Chain A
Amino acid sequence: MAYSKELVAASATPLILSVLAHGENYGYAIIKRVAALTEGEMQWTDGMLYPVLHRLEEQGYIESEWRAPEGGRRRKYYHLRKDGAAALAEERRKWNVVNTALMSLWEVKPCLT
Protein backbone atom coordinates (compact mmCIF):
# COMPACT_ATOMS: atom_id res chain seq x y z
CA MET A 1 0.00 0.00 0.00
CA ALA A 2 1.21 3.48 -0.80
CA TYR A 3 1.79 5.78 2.14
CA SER A 4 0.73 9.39 1.72
CA LYS A 5 3.45 11.97 1.13
CA GLU A 6 2.45 13.73 4.34
CA LEU A 7 2.82 10.61 6.46
CA VAL A 8 6.20 9.81 4.95
CA ALA A 9 7.36 13.40 5.48
CA ALA A 10 6.10 13.51 9.06
CA SER A 11 7.66 10.21 10.06
CA ALA A 12 11.01 10.85 8.37
CA THR A 13 12.34 13.04 11.19
CA PRO A 14 11.61 10.69 14.12
CA LEU A 15 12.78 7.69 12.09
CA ILE A 16 16.11 9.28 11.19
CA LEU A 17 16.70 10.65 14.68
CA SER A 18 15.88 7.24 16.16
CA VAL A 19 18.27 5.41 13.84
CA LEU A 20 21.01 7.89 14.77
CA ALA A 21 20.19 7.48 18.48
CA HIS A 22 21.59 3.96 18.09
CA GLY A 23 24.89 5.38 16.88
CA GLU A 24 26.35 7.38 13.99
CA ASN A 25 25.62 6.26 10.47
CA TYR A 26 25.76 7.36 6.82
CA GLY A 27 22.91 8.08 4.42
CA TYR A 28 22.77 4.84 2.51
CA ALA A 29 22.85 2.72 5.68
CA ILE A 30 20.18 4.87 7.35
CA ILE A 31 17.82 4.30 4.41
CA LYS A 32 18.44 0.56 4.36
CA ARG A 33 17.88 0.39 8.10
CA VAL A 34 14.53 2.17 7.87
CA ALA A 35 13.50 -0.02 4.94
CA ALA A 36 14.35 -3.13 6.95
CA LEU A 37 12.52 -1.90 10.06
CA THR A 38 9.35 -1.14 8.14
CA GLU A 39 9.76 -4.41 6.25
CA GLY A 40 9.78 -2.55 2.97
CA GLU A 41 6.23 -1.34 3.60
CA MET A 42 7.20 2.30 3.73
CA GLN A 43 9.20 2.80 0.59
CA TRP A 44 10.95 6.15 0.51
CA THR A 45 12.37 7.52 -2.63
CA ASP A 46 15.97 7.04 -1.51
CA GLY A 47 17.17 10.47 -2.57
CA MET A 48 14.55 12.31 -0.55
CA LEU A 49 16.25 11.30 2.67
CA TYR A 50 19.23 13.54 2.02
CA PRO A 51 17.43 16.89 2.02
CA VAL A 52 15.78 15.81 5.30
CA LEU A 53 19.20 14.98 6.76
CA HIS A 54 20.56 18.34 5.67
CA ARG A 55 17.63 20.19 7.14
CA LEU A 56 18.09 18.38 10.47
CA GLU A 57 21.73 19.37 10.34
CA GLU A 58 20.82 23.00 9.72
CA GLN A 59 18.47 22.87 12.71
CA GLY A 60 21.39 21.69 14.81
CA TYR A 61 19.88 18.28 15.60
CA ILE A 62 22.59 16.28 13.89
CA GLU A 63 26.16 16.81 12.75
CA SER A 64 27.99 15.37 9.79
CA GLU A 65 31.55 14.55 8.89
CA TRP A 66 33.17 13.11 5.76
CA ARG A 67 35.31 10.13 6.64
CA ALA A 68 36.81 7.17 4.82
CA PRO A 69 36.66 3.81 6.54
CA GLU A 70 39.88 1.83 6.18
CA GLY A 71 40.32 0.78 2.58
CA GLY A 72 36.92 2.20 1.66
CA ARG A 73 35.52 5.23 -0.13
CA ARG A 74 34.68 8.48 1.61
CA ARG A 75 31.27 8.63 3.27
CA LYS A 76 29.40 11.35 5.07
CA TYR A 77 28.61 10.17 8.58
CA TYR A 78 25.87 11.73 10.68
CA HIS A 79 25.56 11.67 14.43
CA LEU A 80 22.99 12.90 16.90
CA ARG A 81 23.62 16.09 18.85
CA LYS A 82 22.21 17.05 22.22
CA ASP A 83 19.45 19.18 20.67
CA GLY A 84 18.59 16.26 18.42
CA ALA A 85 18.18 13.93 21.38
CA ALA A 86 15.83 16.46 22.97
CA ALA A 87 13.89 16.79 19.70
CA LEU A 88 13.65 13.02 19.49
CA ALA A 89 12.22 12.84 23.03
CA GLU A 90 9.61 15.41 22.03
CA GLU A 91 8.75 13.52 18.83
CA ARG A 92 8.45 10.36 20.82
CA ARG A 93 5.99 11.98 23.21
CA LYS A 94 3.81 13.25 20.33
CA TRP A 95 3.79 9.97 18.43
CA ASN A 96 2.94 8.12 21.63
CA VAL A 97 -0.07 10.39 22.17
CA VAL A 98 -1.32 9.65 18.64
CA ASN A 99 -0.56 5.97 18.97
CA THR A 100 -2.27 5.62 22.36
CA ALA A 101 -5.34 7.49 21.17
CA LEU A 102 -5.71 5.33 18.07
CA MET A 103 -5.05 2.13 19.96
CA SER A 104 -7.68 2.83 22.58
CA LEU A 105 -10.22 3.84 19.92
CA TRP A 106 -9.60 0.74 17.90
CA GLU A 107 -9.80 -1.54 20.89
CA VAL A 108 -13.10 -0.29 22.34
CA LYS A 109 -14.91 -0.43 19.03
CA PRO A 110 -15.87 -3.95 17.96
CA CYS A 111 -14.28 -4.95 14.72
CA LEU A 112 -16.97 -5.11 12.04
CA THR A 113 -15.24 -7.43 9.62
Chain B
Amino acid sequence: MFDLERSLADWRDQLGRSGQCIDGDLAELEEHLREETAGLVRAGLAEEEAFLIACRRLGRIDLLGAEFEKVNLRSIWVSRSSWMAFGILAYLASSVGARTVSQVVLAGGLFSGLPSRLTGAIAAFGSLAVLLALLALITITFVRHGQRQDTPVPGSTARRCGLAIGMFLWFTLMPGAGLLAGAIAVKAARDMSEFGHATVATSIGTFAISVLMPLLLTTWLLATPRFTRSA
Protein backbone atom coordinates (compact mmCIF):
# COMPACT_ATOMS: atom_id res chain seq x y z
CA MET B 1 0.00 0.00 0.00
CA PHE B 2 1.42 3.35 -1.02
CA ASP B 3 1.97 5.82 1.80
CA LEU B 4 2.40 9.37 0.56
CA GLU B 5 3.67 10.79 3.85
CA ARG B 6 6.29 8.09 4.09
CA SER B 7 7.40 8.55 0.50
CA LEU B 8 7.68 12.30 1.03
CA ALA B 9 9.74 11.75 4.17
CA ASP B 10 12.03 9.32 2.31
CA TRP B 11 12.46 11.75 -0.54
CA ARG B 12 13.27 14.56 1.89
CA ASP B 13 15.74 12.37 3.77
CA GLN B 14 17.52 11.46 0.59
CA LEU B 15 17.96 15.07 -0.47
CA GLY B 16 18.77 16.19 3.07
CA ARG B 17 21.49 13.59 3.52
CA SER B 18 23.73 15.25 0.95
CA GLY B 19 24.04 18.28 3.23
CA GLN B 20 23.63 20.61 0.26
CA CYS B 21 20.20 21.85 1.22
CA ILE B 22 19.20 23.77 4.30
CA ASP B 23 15.97 23.12 6.21
CA GLY B 24 13.91 25.80 4.47
CA ASP B 25 14.86 24.42 1.05
CA LEU B 26 13.61 20.98 1.96
CA ALA B 27 10.31 22.27 3.32
CA GLU B 28 9.76 24.37 0.21
CA LEU B 29 10.47 21.49 -2.16
CA GLU B 30 8.27 19.18 -0.11
CA GLU B 31 5.38 21.64 -0.43
CA HIS B 32 5.98 21.71 -4.17
CA LEU B 33 5.84 17.91 -4.37
CA ARG B 34 2.64 17.84 -2.32
CA GLU B 35 0.92 20.38 -4.52
CA GLU B 36 2.01 18.74 -7.77
CA THR B 37 0.95 15.32 -6.50
CA ALA B 38 -2.43 16.65 -5.39
CA GLY B 39 -2.94 18.29 -8.79
CA LEU B 40 -2.17 15.06 -10.64
CA VAL B 41 -4.48 13.09 -8.33
CA ARG B 42 -7.27 15.55 -9.12
CA ALA B 43 -6.52 14.93 -12.80
CA GLY B 44 -7.31 11.26 -12.21
CA LEU B 45 -3.98 9.59 -11.43
CA ALA B 46 -3.48 7.17 -8.57
CA GLU B 47 -1.55 8.71 -5.68
CA GLU B 48 1.53 6.58 -6.27
CA GLU B 49 1.74 7.44 -9.98
CA ALA B 50 1.11 11.09 -9.21
CA PHE B 51 3.94 11.14 -6.67
CA LEU B 52 6.38 9.47 -9.07
CA ILE B 53 5.60 11.93 -11.84
CA ALA B 54 5.83 14.88 -9.45
CA CYS B 55 9.28 13.68 -8.34
CA ARG B 56 10.36 13.28 -11.91
CA ARG B 57 9.18 16.78 -12.83
CA LEU B 58 10.93 18.27 -9.84
CA GLY B 59 14.22 16.87 -11.08
CA ARG B 60 16.90 14.37 -10.15
CA ILE B 61 17.93 14.56 -6.52
CA ASP B 62 21.67 14.75 -7.22
CA LEU B 63 21.24 17.58 -9.75
CA LEU B 64 18.94 19.47 -7.42
CA GLY B 65 21.44 19.07 -4.61
CA ALA B 66 24.26 20.37 -6.79
CA GLU B 67 22.25 23.47 -7.75
CA PHE B 68 21.29 24.18 -4.15
CA GLU B 69 24.86 23.74 -3.03
CA LYS B 70 25.94 26.61 -5.27
CA VAL B 71 23.46 28.94 -3.61
CA ASN B 72 24.02 27.64 -0.09
CA LEU B 73 27.80 27.52 -0.17
CA ARG B 74 28.21 30.09 2.58
CA SER B 75 25.72 28.48 4.97
CA ILE B 76 27.21 25.07 4.23
CA TRP B 77 30.67 26.26 5.22
CA VAL B 78 29.43 28.06 8.31
CA SER B 79 27.84 24.78 9.32
CA ARG B 80 30.96 22.75 8.52
CA SER B 81 33.28 25.08 10.42
CA SER B 82 30.99 25.09 13.43
CA TRP B 83 31.19 21.29 13.45
CA MET B 84 34.98 21.52 13.16
CA ALA B 85 35.13 23.96 16.09
CA PHE B 86 32.89 21.57 17.98
CA GLY B 87 35.27 18.70 17.21
CA ILE B 88 38.25 20.65 18.52
CA LEU B 89 36.31 21.61 21.66
CA ALA B 90 35.30 17.99 22.19
CA TYR B 91 38.93 16.92 21.89
CA LEU B 92 40.11 19.59 24.33
CA ALA B 93 37.39 18.68 26.81
CA SER B 94 38.27 14.99 26.57
CA SER B 95 41.98 15.57 26.96
CA VAL B 96 41.50 17.84 29.98
CA GLY B 97 39.40 15.07 31.51
CA ALA B 98 42.00 12.47 30.65
CA ARG B 99 44.83 14.50 32.16
CA THR B 100 42.92 14.90 35.40
CA VAL B 101 42.25 11.18 35.54
CA SER B 102 45.95 10.49 35.01
CA GLN B 103 46.86 12.78 37.95
CA VAL B 104 44.25 11.17 40.16
CA VAL B 105 45.53 7.68 39.30
CA LEU B 106 49.08 8.82 40.03
CA ALA B 107 48.05 10.19 43.42
CA GLY B 108 45.99 7.10 44.21
CA GLY B 109 48.75 4.69 43.17
CA LEU B 110 51.43 6.43 45.19
CA PHE B 111 49.07 6.78 48.15
CA SER B 112 48.28 3.08 48.21
CA GLY B 113 51.93 2.11 47.78
CA LEU B 114 51.80 0.57 44.27
CA PRO B 115 55.19 0.36 42.49
CA SER B 116 55.92 3.78 40.99
CA ARG B 117 56.52 2.58 37.39
CA LEU B 118 53.32 0.53 37.37
CA THR B 119 51.42 3.54 38.70
CA GLY B 120 52.85 5.70 35.89
CA ALA B 121 51.88 3.19 33.23
CA ILE B 122 48.34 2.85 34.58
CA ALA B 123 48.06 6.64 34.73
CA ALA B 124 49.16 7.05 31.11
CA PHE B 125 47.03 4.31 29.59
CA GLY B 126 44.11 4.96 31.92
CA SER B 127 44.03 8.52 30.67
CA LEU B 128 44.12 7.28 27.07
CA ALA B 129 41.17 5.03 27.78
CA VAL B 130 39.27 7.94 29.35
CA LEU B 131 40.15 10.19 26.41
CA LEU B 132 38.90 7.68 23.86
CA ALA B 133 35.79 6.86 25.88
CA LEU B 134 34.83 10.54 26.23
CA LEU B 135 35.44 11.21 22.52
CA ALA B 136 33.39 8.17 21.58
CA LEU B 137 30.59 9.19 23.94
CA ILE B 138 30.45 12.73 22.52
CA THR B 139 30.61 11.46 18.94
CA ILE B 140 27.86 8.89 19.43
CA THR B 141 25.60 11.36 21.25
CA PHE B 142 25.95 13.97 18.53
CA VAL B 143 25.80 11.62 15.60
CA ARG B 144 22.54 10.34 17.01
CA HIS B 145 20.99 13.70 17.91
CA GLY B 146 22.81 16.06 15.61
CA GLN B 147 22.26 14.22 12.32
CA ARG B 148 19.69 16.59 10.95
CA GLN B 149 21.07 19.77 12.40
CA ASP B 150 22.99 22.44 10.60
CA THR B 151 25.04 23.34 13.65
CA PRO B 152 26.09 21.25 16.65
CA VAL B 153 24.43 23.54 19.21
CA PRO B 154 20.98 24.50 18.00
CA GLY B 155 17.98 25.07 20.17
CA SER B 156 16.94 27.39 22.91
CA THR B 157 18.94 30.13 24.59
CA ALA B 158 18.67 28.12 27.81
CA ARG B 159 20.45 25.17 26.20
CA ARG B 160 23.13 27.42 24.77
CA CYS B 161 23.71 29.05 28.17
CA GLY B 162 23.78 25.60 29.74
CA LEU B 163 26.48 24.52 27.34
CA ALA B 164 28.54 27.66 27.98
CA ILE B 165 28.34 27.23 31.77
CA GLY B 166 29.05 23.49 31.47
CA MET B 167 32.13 24.14 29.35
CA PHE B 168 33.37 26.84 31.74
CA LEU B 169 32.98 24.57 34.76
CA TRP B 170 34.58 21.61 32.98
CA PHE B 171 37.59 23.62 31.83
CA THR B 172 38.17 25.16 35.28
CA LEU B 173 37.18 22.37 37.66
CA MET B 174 38.92 19.51 35.84
CA PRO B 175 42.39 21.12 35.66
CA GLY B 176 41.82 22.30 39.25
CA ALA B 177 41.12 18.75 40.37
CA GLY B 178 44.22 17.66 38.43
CA LEU B 179 46.38 20.16 40.28
CA LEU B 180 45.01 19.03 43.61
CA ALA B 181 45.66 15.38 42.73
CA GLY B 182 49.20 16.29 41.66
CA ALA B 183 49.82 17.93 45.03
CA ILE B 184 48.46 14.85 46.81
CA ALA B 185 50.73 12.65 44.70
CA VAL B 186 53.76 14.63 45.82
CA LYS B 187 52.71 14.30 49.46
CA ALA B 188 51.89 10.59 49.08
CA ALA B 189 55.25 9.66 47.56
CA ARG B 190 57.65 8.26 50.15
CA ASP B 191 60.50 10.21 48.60
CA MET B 192 60.97 12.45 45.60
CA SER B 193 62.71 9.75 43.54
CA GLU B 194 59.59 7.58 43.73
CA PHE B 195 57.46 10.50 42.55
CA GLY B 196 60.01 11.12 39.80
CA HIS B 197 59.88 7.51 38.61
CA ALA B 198 56.11 7.60 38.47
CA THR B 199 55.97 10.85 36.50
CA VAL B 200 58.68 9.66 34.10
CA ALA B 201 56.69 6.47 33.49
CA THR B 202 53.57 8.57 32.89
CA SER B 203 55.52 10.79 30.47
CA ILE B 204 56.77 7.77 28.52
CA GLY B 205 53.25 6.44 28.24
CA THR B 206 51.94 9.86 27.20
CA PHE B 207 54.71 10.15 24.62
CA ALA B 208 53.83 6.77 23.14
CA ILE B 209 50.18 7.86 22.97
CA SER B 210 51.00 11.22 21.42
CA VAL B 211 52.87 9.36 18.65
CA LEU B 212 50.27 6.63 18.21
CA MET B 213 47.12 8.78 18.32
CA PRO B 214 47.93 10.99 15.30
CA LEU B 215 49.06 7.89 13.39
CA LEU B 216 45.80 6.13 14.15
CA LEU B 217 43.71 9.17 13.26
CA THR B 218 45.60 9.71 10.00
CA THR B 219 45.13 6.08 9.05
CA TRP B 220 41.45 6.36 9.83
CA LEU B 221 41.10 9.52 7.72
CA LEU B 222 42.90 7.89 4.80
CA ALA B 223 40.81 4.75 5.07
CA THR B 224 37.46 6.57 5.28
CA PRO B 225 35.57 5.96 2.07
CA ARG B 226 34.70 9.08 0.09
CA PHE B 227 31.04 9.83 -0.21
CA THR B 228 30.83 10.49 -3.90
CA ARG B 229 27.67 11.78 -5.43
CA SER B 230 26.01 9.18 -7.59
CA ALA B 231 26.19 10.31 -11.18
Question: Which residues of A come within 8 Å of B, CB atoms?
Answer: 26-28, 31, 45-48, 50-51, 54-55, 58, 66, 73-76
For B28, list chain A residues within 8 Å (CB).
27, 50, 76
Question: Which residues of B come within 8 Å of A, CB atoms?
Answer: 24-25, 27-29, 31-32, 34-36, 57-59, 63-64, 67-68, 70-72
For B25, list chain A residues within 8 Å (CB).
50, 54
The 3 closest A-B pairs by CB, nearest first: A47-B59, A45-B59, A51-B67
For B34, list chain A residues within 8 Å (CB).
73
User: What is the bound-complex CA distance between A66 and B25, given in angstroms?
Assistant: 12
User: What is the bound-complex CA distance between A58 and B24, given in angstroms?
Assistant: 14
Contact of B31 among A28, A31, A47, A54 (CB under 8 A): A28
Additional pairs, 12, CB under 8 Å, beyond known A45-B57, A76-B24: A27-B28, A46-B58, A47-B59, A48-B63, A48-B64, A50-B25, A50-B28, A50-B29, A50-B68, A51-B68, A51-B71, A55-B71
Closest residue on chain B to residue A29 by CB atoms: B35
For B68, list chain A residues within 8 Å (CB).
50-51, 54
Task: Let me know if A46 and B32 touch, CB within 8 A.
Answer: yes
Classify the interface of chain A: helix, strand, loop or mixed: helix
CB of A35, distance to nearest CB on chain B (Å): 10
User: What is the bound-complex CA distance between A45 and B57, given in angstroms?
Assistant: 6
Classify the interface of chain B: helix, strand, loop or mixed: helix
Closest residue on chain A to residue B34 by CB atoms: A73
CB of A69, distance to nearest CB on chain B (Å): 12
For A50, list chain B residues within 8 Å (CB).
25, 28-29, 32, 68
Of A45, A58, A75, most B-chain CB atoms within 10 Å: A45
User: What is the bound-complex CA distance between A27 and B28, given in angstroms?
Assistant: 8
For A54, list chain B residues within 8 Å (CB).
25, 68, 71-72
Task: Let me know if A74 and B58 touch, CB within 8 A.
Answer: no
CB of B153, distance to nearest CB on chain A (Å): 24
Task: Let me know if A73 and B59 touch, CB within 8 A.
Answer: no
User: What is the bound-complex CA distance between A100 and B186, given in angstroms?
Assistant: 92
User: What is the bound-complex CA distance between A1 and B173, given in angstroms?
Assistant: 71
User: What is the bound-complex CA distance between A41 and B77, given in angstroms?
Assistant: 38
User: What is the bound-complex CA distance between A73 and B34, given in angstroms?
Assistant: 10
For A31, list chain B residues within 8 Å (CB).
32
Question: What are 10 A-B interface contacts by the 8 Å CB criterion?
Answer: A27-B28, A27-B32, A28-B31, A28-B32, A46-B57, A47-B58, A47-B67, A50-B25, A54-B68, A58-B71
Task: Let me know if B31 and A73 touch, CB within 8 A.
Answer: yes
**Contact A75:B67 (CB < 8 A) given known A28-B36, A45-B59, A46-B57:** no
